[in-house]
Copies of this chain bind each other. A is one copy, B any other.
Amino acid sequence: MLYIIGLGLYDEKDITVRGLEAVKSCDLVFLEHYTAILQCDIAKLEEFYGKKVIIGDRDLVETEADQILEPAKTKNVALLVVGDVYGATTHSDIFVRCQKMGIEVKVIHNASIMNAVGCSGLQLYRFGQTVSVCFWSEHWKPSSYYPKIKINRDNNMHTLVLLDIKVKERSEENIIKGRDIFEPPRYMTINQCIEQLLEVEKEQHLGVYDEDTMVVGMARVACADQKIVYGKMKDLLRYDFGAPMHCLLIPAPQIDDPELDHLEYFKYKSE
């Protein structure tokens, strides 16, 4: 049996009671730790569960997934996921592999950044497609999110912008030379994201947004020190949101009154 268990967004206590019971019944516990990061030490998880937690990087969860799936044929195995289970395509792939291998799967849901951003005051049902902004490299500057944000804005929908994280990534040079040397982890900040967004607008100038567009910067959503600021892009460009993870909301051109009433409490004040 494979349990895929969402951990929620903050620390060891955000697991559900059902999830905790499942973890405690497991012989092996893996933690997927590259599509999102945990906001607490893994040692705290281990102490809370009374179990050793094996860190699963991209290789383990994708190309070497058999290390998780083979034992699940005969034992109880847990795959822990930060946020909810189906936030990343990877976990859908794990489900499909289990079906093919005849392994029973139980999913235990939790809060995801996709629904927790409702705490901004922007109504969840008004969100359009979600976009991701990646770190640019010298030779690769993707901006496929730009037309997607345009579609959302043209149709009066909000946009959740997820920001890149790079965990255990290798430099282009090290990939070419086949060296397993990893860069230090990097987490895109709201400042970096807005800078990139404005650069793309400047180049493609379809008028999707500009530096005066009101946006919502959100850091460490659901954590004790979560930070939410509603302000102009140009103001948030320099605002210090602190530690990761960050995300950004670009509201629909028309924000409803109850949404504005709520956003009011997060309004930007110059530092």
Binding site for B on A (CB under 8 A): 6, 8-10, 12-18, 20-21, 84-87, 89, 92-93, 95-96, 99, 107, 109-112, 114-116, 118-119, 121, 123-132, 151, 155, 157, 162, 222, 258-259, 261-262, 265
> CB-nearest residue of chain B relative to A96?
B261
Do residues B129 and A126 form an inter-chain contact, with CB atoms below 8 A? yes
Q: A111-B6, A128-B157 are in contact. Are A123 and B89 (CB under 8 A)?
A: yes
Nearest opposing residue in chain B for A124, CB measure: B114
Residues of B within 8 A of A132 (CB): 125
Q: Is the CB of B129 within 8 A of A128?
A: yes
CB distance from A133 to the nearest CB of B (A): 13
Report whether B86 and A124 are in contact in the complex, using a CB–CB cutoff of 8 Å. Answer: yes
A259: chain B residues at CB < 8 Å are 92
Given A18-B13, A114-B115, A124-B130, are A109 and B222 neighbors across the interface (CB < 8 Å)? yes
- Provide the residues of chain B in CB contact with A13, threshold 8 Å: 16-18, 21
- The docked-state distance in angstroms from the alpha carbon of A118 to that of B8 is 15
Contacts of A121 in B (CB 8 A): 92, 95
How far is B114's CA from A155's CA once the two chains are assembled, in angstroms?
20
Copies in the complex: 2
Give Cα A118–Cα B95 distance, bound, in whole angstroms. 12
A92 x B130 contact (CB < 8 A): no
Knowing A8-B16, A13-B21, the reply to whether A115 touches B112 (Cβ < 8 A) is yes
Chain B: minimal CB distance from A44 (Å): 12
Complex CA–CA separation, A265 to B105 (angstroms) = 13
Residues of B within 8 A of A18 (CB): 10, 13-14
Q: How far is the CB of A19 from chain B (nearest CB, A)?
A: 8
A33 to B121 alpha-carbon distance, docked (Å) = 21
**Of all chain B residues, which has the CB nearest A21?**
B13
- Distance from A13 Cβ to chain B, minimum over Cβ atoms (Å): 4
Q: B residues within 8 A CB of A111?
A: 6, 84, 109-112, 115
Residue of B95, B115, B126 touching A115 (CB-CB under 8 A): B115
Cβ-closest chain B residue relative to A162: B125
